[in-house]
């Protein structure tokens, strides 16, 4: 094809080199458009991936049933609020829904821990032996709660890493005795550090493991009981909660949604108030994936607008070039060049501009992860409060280059170069040779 003749490309490149500033600014427009496509899609993919990882931490085969304080009239001082999941609820759910493979109960409360002269606020959790597996906790030393501890209501506990280090920074905490509400508990294990489990929208609050102390659920019920007191603005509100949360593990993933609906139906039938909430990670994950596609389409649209702006820049430059080179076009026509030759010459120039802009834009786009990490480290050092106020999905996000974004962006840049370069090329080809030779 005549378009691929070396002579045409040499003439096109030489013509562009005569105006380096103009050509450079045109390339810059394409560069920004290409880099924007790659950057926006990479950032969107990174955020989406982080959100999906947070949801997957909850377990796609799990269903989480939580006790929630109902929205009622303000309770007066010393009043009693009775709400949430009961032991009877748990028994009915565990024994009547056949798709449930495992059910993990917990009961938690805020308490004070005492050891020697040290005291600190803790999150005291009564749980069963499966808790460490479901919550992906790892032991650093000792052991976790076992079935025998539940059966015997043993006064034993397991400390989070941070709690253990606050009690004995240099020595092991195994077999020491701590006091919680004047009750002694022997430490049988210490967990490894565990990062915070981020909040999932409005469905589930963030969970911080740094202040956790774990004890057998039966021991919690015997020593702490169902009654707790919440202090707020000088008033006291008494609460009775039997079970704080139940995590149901379903045998087959295909049964998760119908099991969730069955749990909701049973709880609705047994409760007059909305004092429970059901979180289904699989449903949240599907919603996150749908949102990801919408987000990427939106980001791609915004970036495509940048490319169109770059294309308009190419057309503007080429139209100006046609006017400046009218006499040149007349001479070429007089020497035997036909309209097709003129069109090909100007199209080659637009293709060169869009190709150079495309390649440099891809290189700039591939630098996105490195640049974002550098900026995050800079902000962390110089503006720590700003970085802490960002959502976890943004603060800990690393951009992920979407492979298809590179050929997609480059293809659009090349197409825009051809489309926006066609009109100036055709306008140049339609010039009357005699009038073009007379042009000053």
pLDDT tens sequence across 64-84: 999 998 876 455 555 678 899
Residue 227 forms beta bridges with which residues?
240
Q: Is the pLDDT of residue 96 over 50?
A: yes
Contact indicator for 37, 365 with CB cutoff of 8 Å:
yes
Comparing CA positions, the residue from 48, 43, 45 lying closest to residue 288 is 48
Q: Taking each helix axis from N to C terminus, what angle separates 281-324 and 326-334, rounded to the nearest 10 degrees?
A: 70
Contact indicator for 46, 233 with CB cutoff of 8 Å:
no
Other Cβ atoms closer than 10 A to 97: 19
Read off the pLDDT band of 129 (50, 70, 90): very high
Separation of CA 358 from chain center: 29
Contact indicator for 279, 68 with CB cutoff of 8 Å:
no
Comparing CA positions, the residue from 106, 121, 105 lying closest to residue 231 is 121
pLDDT digits (tens, 9 = 90+) for 244-278: 999 999 988 889 899 999 999 999 999 988 899 99
> Pairing relation of β-strands 139-142 and 212-216?
unpaired
Q: Is the pLDDT of residue 325 over 80?
A: no
Q: Distances in Å between the alpha carbon of 155 and those of 148, 158, 175? A: 12, 11, 12
The pLDDT, as a whole number, for residue 440 is 55
Taking the C-alpha atoms of residue 437 and residue 424, their distance in angstroms, rounded to an integer, is: 19
Q: Is the pLDDT of residue 374 over 50?
A: yes
- Please tell me the pTM assigned to this model: 0.66
CA dihedral for 29, 34, 40, 43, sign (positive or negative): negative
Average pLDDT over residues 399-421: 83
Contact indicator for 143, 186 with CB cutoff of 8 Å:
no
The pLDDT, as a whole number, for residue 210 is 92
Question: Which of 192-196, 197-201, 295-299 has the weakest average pLDDT?
Answer: 197-201
Read off the pLDDT band of 205 (50, 70, 90): low
Q: Is the pLDDT of residue 125 over 50?
A: yes
| Residue 191 CB burial class (10 angstroms; 0-12, 13-18, ≥19) | buried
Most confident of the following: 143-157, 302-316, 379-393, 399-413: 143-157
Read off the pLDDT band of 202 (50, 70, 90): very low
């Amino acid at each position: 094809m005549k378009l691929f003749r070396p002579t045409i490309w040499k003439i096109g490149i030489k013509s562009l080199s005569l105006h380096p500033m103009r050509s450079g600014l045109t390339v810059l427009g394409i560069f920004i458009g290409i880099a924007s496509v790659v950057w926006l899609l990479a950032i969107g993919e990174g955020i989406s991936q982080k959100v999906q990882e947070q949801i997957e931490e909850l377990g796609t085969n799990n269903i989480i049933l939580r006790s929630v304080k109902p929205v009622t009239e303000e309770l007066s001082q010393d009043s009693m609020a009775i709400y949430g999941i009961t032991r009877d609820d748990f028994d009915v759910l565990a024994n009547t829904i056949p798709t449930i493979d495992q059910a993990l109960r917990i009961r938690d409360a805020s308490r004070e821990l005492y050891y020697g002269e040290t005291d600190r606020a803790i999150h005291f959790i009564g749980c069963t032996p499966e808790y460490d597996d479901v919550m992906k906790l790892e032991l650093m030393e000792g052991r976790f709660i076992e079935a025998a501890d539940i059966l015997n209501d043993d006064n034993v506990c397991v400390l989070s890493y941070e709690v253990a280090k606050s009690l004995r920074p240099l020595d092991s905490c195994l077999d020491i005795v701590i006091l919680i509400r004047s009750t002694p508990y022997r430490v049988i294990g210490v967990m490894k550090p565990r990062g915070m489990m981020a909040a999932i929208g409005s469905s589930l609050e963030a969970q911080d493991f740094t202040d956790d102390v774990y004890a057998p659920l039966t021991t919690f019920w015997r020593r702490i009981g169902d009654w707790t007191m919440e202090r707020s603005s000088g008033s006291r509100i008494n609460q009775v909660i039997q079970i704080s949360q139940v995590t149901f593990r379903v045998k087959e993933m295909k049964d998760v949604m119908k099991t969730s609906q069955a749990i909701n139906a049973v709880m609705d039938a047994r409760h007059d108030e909305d004092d429970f909430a059901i979180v289904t990670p699989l449903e949240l994950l599907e919603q996150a994936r749908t949102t990801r596609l919408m987000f990427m389409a939106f980001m791609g649209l915004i970036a495509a607008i940048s490319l169109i702006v770059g294309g308009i820049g190419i057309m503007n430059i080429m139209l100006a070039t046609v006017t400046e080179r009218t006499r040149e076009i007349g001479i070429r026509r007089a020497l035997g060049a036909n309209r097709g030759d003129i069109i090909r010459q100007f199209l080659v120039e637009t293709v060169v501009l869009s190709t150079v802009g495309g390649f440099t834009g891809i290189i700039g786009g591939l630098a996105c992860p490195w640049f974002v990490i550098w900026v995050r480290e800079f902000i962390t050092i110089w503006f720590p409060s700003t970085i802490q106020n960002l959502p976890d999905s943004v603060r800990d996000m690393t951009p992920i280059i979407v492979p298809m974004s590179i050929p997609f962006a480059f293809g659009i840049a090349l197409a825009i170069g051809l489309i926006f370069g066609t009109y100036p090329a055709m306008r140049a080809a339609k010039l009357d040779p005699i009038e073009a030779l007379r042009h000053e």
